[in-house]
Structure 1
Amino acid sequence: MIREKTSFVYVTYIQSTPQKVFEAITKPDLAKRYWGHENVSDWQPGSNWQHLRANDERTVELVGKVIEVSPPTRLVITWANASQASDPDAHSRVTFEVEEYDSMVRLTVTHDELEAESGMAKGVSKGWPIVLSSMKSFLETGQGLDVFAKPKAA
């Protein structure tokens, strides 16, 4: 049975430099300030990366491989829940494209090869907008958003 795939694309403009945006994605001490997680890797093609909860337990929540890296303009990684790391069908792909755009940066995040209607597809469609909004706030003001916030009940 062929599983239907879907993708998610998010574009935002950030008053920053390509280098600072790229570092915000790849440097654990920066990522935890706007994401609540650290992205840990040596960022070489073929290397593993881990998405660690920035708390006392330091739970590994996501894992993957570095596919392509061209600082400060492009990063491509695979992405899977840590509990599904051994299932190749559970891996999706995330591409970060960082482009100078006049005096700012255009960041395009494409999360593709997602199984349609999966928990991961539903999660990233809600997760990426707040994480990337938090990154924008962090880079522009020094303060990220609460990425763990929940909608208020009506």
Structure 2
Amino acid sequence: MTNDRFVYVTYIRTTPEKLWDALQKPEFTRIYWFGAILESEWTKGASWKMVLPDQRIADEGEIIEIEKPKRIVIKWRSEFSPELKAEGYSVCTIELEPTPESVKLTVVHEIDKPASKLIQSVSGGWPKILSSLKSMLETGEALGGQSPCSHE
């Protein structure tokens, strides 16, 4: 398969269970995703979407694979712009691996389209999102000063 891919690896001082919750629960995602909420039943075959604060759907897809608290694979299509939507579905794989003092988080976002504009877009977005997630879990405050307690 020829593809374009983005890979990001970080280590977060937390537990796999806390990171798993932060990846899925709206009360957390809206904080480190800068207002966006990820909606899904989080089961294999379930629909998945990212809803922006103004209620527009930025991305949508389906849960292809899920193994708590280790791995999520999402069939993912951008709805944000016609140009990105036209590229079709990508696959985003999120893996959690416990280490002695942290959790190794690996995100691989790929599409079978060389020079993908979607991958170019997510390559700018994922580092900011995942840095915000890491800050939230390690300090209690996401980038931009938002904390889970201030939004409950």
Instruction: Provide TM-score, normalisation by structure 1.
Output: 0.84
The residue number in structure 1 matching 2:124 is 126
Count residues with an aligned counterpart. 140
Give the Å deviation of 1:119. Answer: 2.2
Alpha carbons of 1:132 and 1:114: their partners in 2 closer, same or farther (altered >3 Å)?
Answer: farther
The residue number in structure 2 matching 1:94 is 92
Q: Residue 115 of structure 1 contacts residue 121 of structure 1 at CA under 8 Å; is this kept in 2?
A: no
Instruction: Provide TM-score, normalisation by structure 2.
Output: 0.85
1:26 and 1:114 mapped to 2: Cα distance? 26
Q: Residue 7 of structure 1 contacts residue 112 of structure 1 at CA under 8 Å; is this kept in 2?
A: yes
Q: Residue 114 of structure 1 contacts residue 120 of structure 1 at CA under 8 Å; is this kept in 2?
A: no
Counterpart residue identity of residue 43, structure 1 = W
- Return 5+ residue gaps in structure 1 as ranges: 147-154
The residue number in structure 1 matching 2:45 is 46
Q: Residue 48 of structure 2 contacts residue 60 of structure 2 at CA under 8 Å; is this kept in 1?
A: yes
Counterpart residue identity of residue 140, structure 1 = E
- Return 5+ residue gaps in structure 2 as ranges: 145-152
Counterpart residue identity of residue 138, structure 1 = M
RMSD of aligned C-alpha atoms? 1.9
Which residue of 26, 29, 34 corresponds with 1:28?
26
Counterpart residue identity of residue 103, structure 2 = V
Tell me which stretches of 4 or more aligned residues in structure 1 moved more than 4 Å: none
Counterpart residue identity of residue 136, structure 2 = F
The residue number in structure 1 matching 2:150 is none
Q: Deviations over 1:67-99 (max 9, x none)?
A: 011111110001111267xx7961000111001
* 1:49-128 correspondence runs (5 A): 49-53=48-52, 55=53, 57-82=54-79, 90-113=88-111, 115-128=113-126
The residue number in structure 2 matching 1:138 is 136
